[in-house]
Amino acid sequence: MMTDFLIIAAVVMIAAFFWQLRQMAELSRIFTNKECQKQKVQLLAIAQESAKPSLGGTSGLTWKVKYLFEFSTDGINQYRGSLWMHGKKIQKIQWPIFPEPEWHEAPEARGSVGGGCGGRSRGNCSSGGCK
């Protein structure tokens, strides 16, 4: 009788931890997708790298999880970033150094490169100075 109760309690706890990990995976995917849209890159994949039980969170016993995500700036090159979660909260996201993606709505540069005249016409700059 007691062993049946312990087996049922263990199964319920394992199912609860699995459910919590699935919720965290879904939240990490949504968050990473939004961050990739902000950076104007394409999210390719996200995967859990490690998970450790931890104290904290809303339920007391939770997970510390690290996710790896892959993204592309041009459809050819791939880059890897990392995302850390504690429970259902994002702790930090780490991006690698990657070239700025090219997109059609890029802001256009205005003024002169190297200073001097700013918004004035180039005719004034080439004639020896700005007035």
Instruction: Tell whether 14 is covered by a domain.
Output: yes
- Work out the average pLDDT over 102-108: 52
Residue 99 — pLDDT band, cuts 50, 70, 90? confident
**Does the residue 44 lie in any domain?**
yes
Q: What range defines the domain where residue 62 resides?
A: 7-99
SS3 44: strand
Q: Report the percent of the chain where pLDDT is more than 70.
A: 74
Is residue 117 one of the residues assigned to a domain?
A: no
Q: Is residue 109 part of a domain?
A: no
In this model, does residue 126 exceed pLDDT 90?
Answer: no
Average pLDDT across the chain, whole number: 80
- Cα–Cα distance, 88 to 106 (Å, whole number): 35
Please state the domain count of the chain.
1
Which helix (DSSP H) or strand (DSSP E) does residue 3 occupy?
helix 2-39
Whether residue 81 lies inside any domain: the answer is yes
pLDDT at residue 38 is higher than 70: yes
Entry field: residues in the chain: 131
Residue 11 predicted with pLDDT over 90: yes
Distance between CA atoms of 43 and 23, rounded to whole angstroms? 19
d(CA 90, CA 31) in angstroms, rounded, equals 9
Per the domain annotation, does 17 fall within a domain? Answer: yes
Q: Residue 21 domain-assigned?
A: yes
Q: Domain for residue 111, yes or no?
A: no
What's the pLDDT at 60? 76
The encoded tokens of residue 110 equal: 């205005």
